[in-house]
Amino acid sequence: MICSLILGTVIIVAVTSVDFNPVDDNYFISGSIDGKVRIWEVLGCQVVDYTDIREIVTAVCYHPGGKVGEFLAIRSGKITIQYSK
């Protein structure tokens, strides 16, 4: 589980998958049962962005290029690809 302190509220969710950025080890992504894919900053100990897939995320992985915000998430047998703009 990952615990995050956001605006004074502790949020605890069961994490199903994690992947470190292949280019910048200061970032990793997590998928969880609440349907969110979160991008974490290690040094800042915080979530810097997230997207709501709205279903349990069973696996996540970064694109080999490692751009922050560019990842693949798998949910209920379906694939979601997120690209940063």
Q: Where are the domains of the chain?
A: 2-82
pLDDT tens string 27-63: 998 999 998 889 899 998 899 989 888 888 888 888 7
The pLDDT assigned to 12 comes to: 64
Cβ atoms 70, 63 nearer than 8 A = yes
Give the amino acid at 18: V
Mean pLDDT of 51-80: 77
- pTM over 0.85, yes/no: no
The region, left, alpha or beta by phi > 0 then psi within -120 to 50, assigned to residue 52 is beta
CATH classification of 2-82 is 2.40.10, yes or no?
yes
In 3D space, the residue among 32, 41, 46, 43 whose CA is nearest the CA of residue 68 turns out to be 41
